[in-house]
Amino acid sequence: SFPVIVLISGSGSNLQALIDQSLQGKLDIDIKAVISNKADAFGLERAQKVGIPTHALDHKAFTSREAFDEALQQTIDQYQPKLVILAGFMRILTETFTKHYEGRMLNIHPSLLPKFKGLDTHQRAIDAKEQEHGVSVHFVSSELDAGAVIVQASTKIETDETASSLADKVHALEHVIYPLAVKWFSENRLTLKYGTAHLDDTPLSETGIL
Ligand code: GAR
């Protein structure tokens, strides 16, 4: 089946959603390895539990961002994946790295992009008095959180909402839409063309999905 690599930095609940769906036969992917820039990321345990090889690549052990990305690329490419999945991977990537995986690397970001790029998105959405908040899956480009959006899901911000309650609601949405986007890609239905995401050759913006 379809070889993929998942990059994480933390809990790995999105990784778990991908593992679960593939074990249930809903998603035909083969997670060749999980790579974390943090050795204590809980997601590494989730992978080991189901026999997926793991790598911890500590970014602090490298003298530059370029050197880290080069080692990361080598670690990934030994598995010859068809897709690289960023699932809570909290490192900014170099242009060389993002170019290398152009059109074959996805990210999930906890906001309704182009709103709230970067960190602390749930609190910022509340502070901005947004009525809605959500999550986006997008192709990774060299500009942070600015690549072509594939699919989004949203939830209402209640009057008593906290960053933590909002994060919980967004996480639940993430676990639905990320496996869906990965499924499309693994079925060769999802492509990046002229900087926009297409599903079955139709721009996502024209499908009614986005
Ligand atoms: C997710 O909410 C994901 O959207 C976010 O990190 C969390 C990882 O959770 N990603 C980013 O903020 C990327 N800039 P998980 O480790 O439980 O999957």
161-179 pLDDT tens trace = 999 999 999 999 999 999 9
- Which of 174, 177, 178 maximizes ligand 1 atoms within 8 Å of its Cβ, making it the mutation to test the pocket? 174
Is 93 annotated for ligand binding?
Answer: yes
pLDDT-derived band at 55, boundaries 50, 70, 90 = very high
Q: How does pLDDT run across 82-134, given as a tens digit for each residue?
A: 999 999 999 999 999 999 999 999 999 999 999 999 999 999 999 999 999 99
Total residues belonging to the chain: 210
Distance 110 CA to ligand 1 centre (A): 7
The tokens describing 141, both together, are 């480009």
- Which of 6, 14, 16, 182 maximizes ligand 1 atoms within 8 Å of its Cβ, making it the mutation to test the pocket? 14
Is 12 annotated for ligand binding?
Answer: yes
The CA-atom distances, in angstroms, between 27 and each of 17, 61, 76, 174, 178 are 10, 35, 21, 16, 11
Whether 1 has a pLDDT exceeding 90, the answer reads no
pLDDT at 198: 97
Is 107 annotated for ligand binding?
Answer: yes
Question: Known catalytic residues?
Answer: 109
Residue 147 DSSP one-character state = S
Q: What ipTM is given for this predicted complex? A: 0.99
Burial status of residue 72 (CB atoms within 10 A of its CB: 0-12, 13-18, 19 or more): buried
Distance 190 CA to ligand 1 centre (A): 22
Q: How does pLDDT run across 18-50, given as a tens digit for each residue?
A: 999 999 999 999 999 999 999 999 999 999 999
Q: Please state, rounded to an integer, the average pLDDT across all residues of the chain.
A: 97
Burial status of residue 119 (CB atoms within 10 A of its CB: 0-12, 13-18, 19 or more): exposed
Q: Whose CA is nearest to atom 12 of ligand 1?
A: 109
The model's pTM is 0.98
